[in-house]
Amino acid sequence: MLKVNGINVYYGNIQAIKDVSLEINQGEIVTLIGANGAGKSTLLKTISGLLKPKKGEVLFQDKSIAGKAAQTIVKQGISHVPEGRRVFANMTVEENLELGAYLRKDKAEIKRDFEKVFELFPRLLERKKQQSGTLSGGEQQMLAMGRALMARPKLLLLDEPSMGLAPLLVKTIFRIIEEINKTGTTILLVEQNANMALSIADRVYVIETGKVVLSGTADELNASDQLKMAYLGGH
């Protein structure tokens, strides 16, 4: 579904991504793990059109999307839930969700998707008319995910969904990620919580200082001593 071939991405003169290649098949959950500053968020931003690669290609369903405008990429079926949630604080939950469907015209289907989002996140239904800035961190994460789903993505990019959340909420968010995947949405997940990420992923890429240093199935990487020492605290 997605193929990234040898991309290089810079911030000014600083190279953040170095010849990274990866692929994601339809229906998979693929996770990127690595330390802070390894280039994981930069990679997601490049896929979703917020950054342009200097070199290399990004193919989505065999079409080149590298350097295309972010809204064009949303239209083609990729939604990005950024790190830090980025909800529109002075708008209601409902208005944030409506914005997720901004590019769509199919009113009846949009209504159906509202219902689906409220099924996945009952808490959002209770808070429908509430200003988003007054929600808890966990509720804002649910809203950011719900808003992305309103665009009906084929591929959902999730950047650190568990960041700053209580352990119980982290479990809830990961359970919902699995549910979203079961309904047919492919997921690329960036996550600091390597144990949780590996528990739901099909395949894993490990990124260090802008390079992919390890990749494999979640089971293979779970069994890797190298990975355990580096990311799982040796457990």
Q: Which helix (H) or strand (E) holds 119?
A: helix 107-120
The mean predicted confidence, pLDDT, of the chain is: 89
Q: Tens of pLDDT along 43-89?
A: 999 999 999 999 999 999 999 999 899 989 999 999 998 887 688 88
Reported confidence tier of residue 235, pLDDT bands at 50, 70, 90: very low
Per the structure block, which two tokens stand in for 181?
Answer: 């995947």
pLDDT (0 to 100) of residue 234: 47
Q: Is residue 118 a contact partner of residue 139, using CB atoms and an 8 Å limit?
A: no
- Phi and psi angles of residue 165, each rounded to the nearest 5 degrees, phi first: -100, 150
Q: Does 233 score more than 60 pLDDT?
A: no
- The fold of the 2-87+151-231 domain, in CATH, is Rossmann fold (3.40.50)
Longest CA pairwise span in the chain (Å) = 51
Q: How many CA atoms lie within 13 A of 31 on its CB side?
A: 26
CA Rg, the chain, in Å? Answer: 17
pLDDT (0 to 100) of residue 167: 86
Torsion of CA 50, 34, 195, 85, to 10 degrees: -30
Q: Tens of pLDDT along 149-175?
A: 998 999 999 999 988 888 888 888 899
